[in-house]
């Protein structure tokens, strides 16, 4: 896929913005894999009944309207904020002289009224049959959903409200991605993966805040421990920690390890993985180098969380490897994101680095957020009898550069 940047935007983002500004639709997809689906995002400010009819006929669905929290406040609509990852809603309303049964023309009028910044609160009759969604502050960075995507794209295109139509089958279930993409072709709508929009927003949104810095002498070196809070974390105590060695301004490309949290390995010394030994080896190597960072990211279980990791362990005990166990639980093999980590490194003054890793994907992830990895420094740990299969899977199926000997590998027969 072509991701060439144009004027600071990816080509995909530019196509989506231009399509909306010209009155067209954009198909936003959850991803590109089996089970993913999509929704048409439409331009609220210039929406026509004909365009809404076309999108709704392909989507077999009614439109959803999306407001920002400030817009809902300006219109005098109370916001109901769901806990955790649920959707936010605004108070229901109708327009004056609303028809007895909503029509696509009426829904188009609603879109225009919501997108018009001069609309006064008195223009809306409450309660009513229209109940718009409310995008969370930070958009798709805070919640990866079609609602937040519609709000972000509306803002990008210069509209005050978003509209989206989920693509469904005639039975009402989410349509397979192939059907959604075929509908997009017939509508002439560009396709934009949600992950692309998230990456674009992350690159333009400050997600981190320094909250504490202390001296931390340890068994593996003497560091400054700097705590960073991320906007993406609902729990304010769930902070990322940068262990910093030396004056980083004196080193053009300091040694850096980006280590994802592993409670079982890092804290309890589990032999099922190589995480704990990798963390301690990295700390020792940075200590010897005299300058560098060990960045401890709260991305337990390659991003799936502790409970799901333990469930994956249960499946591994039944014979699955670490990749298939994740897939069986409905997760991708690796859900880690390096956008927050990249912002932390930049906040520490790092733009070039020597990266301690065996994982080429980590290099790509950091470089994708504007850091220059000038050297990959291996961090290989000798396998033990409990993690041979895990290490073999990392090398054979996840592309890690481990150079295991035949005697160190364990494969299913």
User: Which segments are annotated as binding site?
Assistant: 257-262, 273, 275, 278, 300-302, 322, 357, 362
Give me the DSSP letters along 276-344.
Answer: HHHHHHHHHHHHHHSSEEEEEE--GGGGT-HHHHHHHHHHHHTT--HHHHHHHTT--S-----HHHHHH
Q: How far apart are CA 342 and CA 347, in angstroms?
A: 9
Please name which of 208, 61, 60 lies closest in space to residue 138, comparing C-alpha atoms.
208
What Rg do the C-alpha atoms of the chain give, in angstroms?
A: 24
Q: How far apart are CA 276 and CA 146, in angstroms?
A: 38
Contact 230/244 with Cβ under 8 angstroms?
no
Return the SS3 of 241. Answer: strand
Return the SS3 of 143. Answer: coil
Q: For residue 269, what is the DSSP state?
A: -
Q: In what order do the strands lie in the sheet with 79-80?
A: 79-80, 88-90, 133-135, 64-68, 162-166, 38-43, 26-29, 191-193
- Phi first, then psi: give them for residue 365, nearest 5 degrees: -60, -40
Alpha-helix residue ranges (DSSP H) falling in 66-145: 69-74, 104-115
Angle, helix 49-59 to helix 104-115, in steps of 10 degrees: 110
The answer to whether the bond into 96 is cis (omega within 30° of 0) is no
- Phi first, then psi: give them for residue 38, nearest 5 degrees: -150, 175
Active site residues: 334, 336
Buried/exposed 1-36: b ≥16 CB within 10 Å, e otherwise: eeeeeeeebbebbbbbbebbeeebbbbbbbeeeeee
Q: For residue 266, what is the DSSP state?
A: I
């Amino acid at each position: 896929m072509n991701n060439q940047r144009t004027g600071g935007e990816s080509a995909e983002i530019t196509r989506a913005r231009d399509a909306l500004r010209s009155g067209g639709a954009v198909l936003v997809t959850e991803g590109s894999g089996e089970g993913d689906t999509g929704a048409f995002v439409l331009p609220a400010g210039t929406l026509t009944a004909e365009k809404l009819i076309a999108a709704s006929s392909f989507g077999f669905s009614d439109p959803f309207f999306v407001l920002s929290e400030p817009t809902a406040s300006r219109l005098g609509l109370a916001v109901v904020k769901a806990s955790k990852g649920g959707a936010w809603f605004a108070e229901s309303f109708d327009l004056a002289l609303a028809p007895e049964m909503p029509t696509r023309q009426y829904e188009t009028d609603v879109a225009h009224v919501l997108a018009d910044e001069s609309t006064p609160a008195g223009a809306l009759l409450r309660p009513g049959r229209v109940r718009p969604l409310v995008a969370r502050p930070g958009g798709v960075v805070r919640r990866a959903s079609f609602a937040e995507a519609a709000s972000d794209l509306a803002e990008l295109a210069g509209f005050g409200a978003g509209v989206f139509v989920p693509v469904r089958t005639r039975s009402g279930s989410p349509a397979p991605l192939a059907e959604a993409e075929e509908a997009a072709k017939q509508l002439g709508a560009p396709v934009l993966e949600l992950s692309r929009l998230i990456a674009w927003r992350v690159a333009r949104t400050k997600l981190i805040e320094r909250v504490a810095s202390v001296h931390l002498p340890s068994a593996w070196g003497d560091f400054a421990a700097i705590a960073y809070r991320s906007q993406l974390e609902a729990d304010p105590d769930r902070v990322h920690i940068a262990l910093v060695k030396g004056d980083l301004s004196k080193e053009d490309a300091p040694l850096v390890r980006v280590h994802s949290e592993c409670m079982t390995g890092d804290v309890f010394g589990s032999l099922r993985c190589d995480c704990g030994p990798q963390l301690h080896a990295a700390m020792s190597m940075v200590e010897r180098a005299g300058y560098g960072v060990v960045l401890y990211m709260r991305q337990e279980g390659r991003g799936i969380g502790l409970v799901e990791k333990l469930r994956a362990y249960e499946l591994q005990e039944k014979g699955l490897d670490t990749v298939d166990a994740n897939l069986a639980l409905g997760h991708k093999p690796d859900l880690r994101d390096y956008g927050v980590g990249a912002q932390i490194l930049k906040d520490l003054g790092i733009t070039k680095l020597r990266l301690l890793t065996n994982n080429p994907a980590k290099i790509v992830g950091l470089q994708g957020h504007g850091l220059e990895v000038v050297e990959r420094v291996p961090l290989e740990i000798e396998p033990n009898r409990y993690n041979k299969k895990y290490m073999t899977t990392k090398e054979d199926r996840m592309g890690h550069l481990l150079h295991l000997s035949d005697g160190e590998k364990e494969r299913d027969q």
